[in-house]
Amino acid sequence: MIPELRDAVGRQLGTRVLEATRLGGGDINDAFEVSLEDRTRIFVKTHPDPPGGMFGAEARGLRWLEETKAIRIPRVIAFSDEQPAYLALELLTPAQPQPDFEEALGHSLAALHAFGSPSFGLDHDNFIGRLPQTNATADDWASFYWTSRIEPQLRLATDRGLIDGETHARFDSLRRVLPERVGPGEPPSRLHGDLWGGNLHVDEQGRPCLIDPAVYAGHREIDLAMMRLFGGFGERVFAAYEDASPLAPGASDRVPLYQLYPLMVHVNLFGGSYVDSVRRALSACV
């Protein structure tokens, strides 16, 4: 940890950083376990040149999820979007998962999604990975999903030469039929927004804990579809969710539709190797 960051963290918390141990696992940020003068240990992540407002947006998102009390979310301690930019959170010391860990996760996600919002979107924009995520509010889910989710990623991928004309034409076809494909109307749900296996942790009591969100209010099936995209979640999780909050008929058929957004994000973050997966998802939709 660079001296400037040590000083900034200590100054904002009114204490002194005694030790900082680098942690592995982050794709975007550098992470540290930090010991403070009062013997408190915290988690700090930092980036040398983050997009403007990235850590502040994440802090707001964590607090937005935490206020539901539906599932464990690490407490925000401090953040700065000025250099050296960082986010300080309570340190999670994982225990062995409880025997009913998967059931608890399914039930907790259902409880989280039950916390709604007046409209789809959010009152501020944020990020998914290091990509901007637009959250302009809308009353209609199909309009929001196209305008604030699919279209921005499609435009970016097209500008970068990652999407060919035939695939773009398939997206145009999807746009025309999207209102018929999104499923029965549901109220906006409070979403984690980036729910892959790496963002699920175990807390000190062996219970589920979620980190690194890309929050907004949306259709709950999109969180569940992303959980199925890269694995890491057992069928007991989905069964427990369904038991607590049954999905509308046809939900399994809509999984490819709701995987399109995270797949397009991966195209723009990691390159054209994900384009074939996008094409397969499109083929299942139109």
Active site residues: 194
> How far apart, in whole angstroms, are the C-alpha atoms of residue 122 and residue 117?
8
Region class of 25: left (phi > 0), else alpha (psi between -120 and 50), else beta: left
Single out the residue of 193, 210, 190, 219 nearest to residue 115, CA to CA. 190
Residue at 215: amino acid letter: V
> How far apart, in whole angstroms, are the C-alpha atoms of residue 130 and residue 280?
25
Single out the residue of 83, 41, 89, 82 nearest to residue 213, CA to CA. 89
Distances from the Cα of 60 to the Cα of 52, 126, 237, angstroms: 14, 9, 27
> How far apart, in whole angstroms, are the C-alpha atoms of residue 8 and residue 86?
9
> How far apart, in whole angstroms, are the C-alpha atoms of residue 204 and residue 242?
27
Q: Which residue has the tokens 């141990």?
A: 21
- Alpha helix positions (H), the chain: 3-13, 54-66, 101-114, 141-144, 151-159, 165-181, 221-229, 235-244, 251-270, 275-285
Instruction: At 230, give phi and psi (nearest 5°).
Output: -115, 5
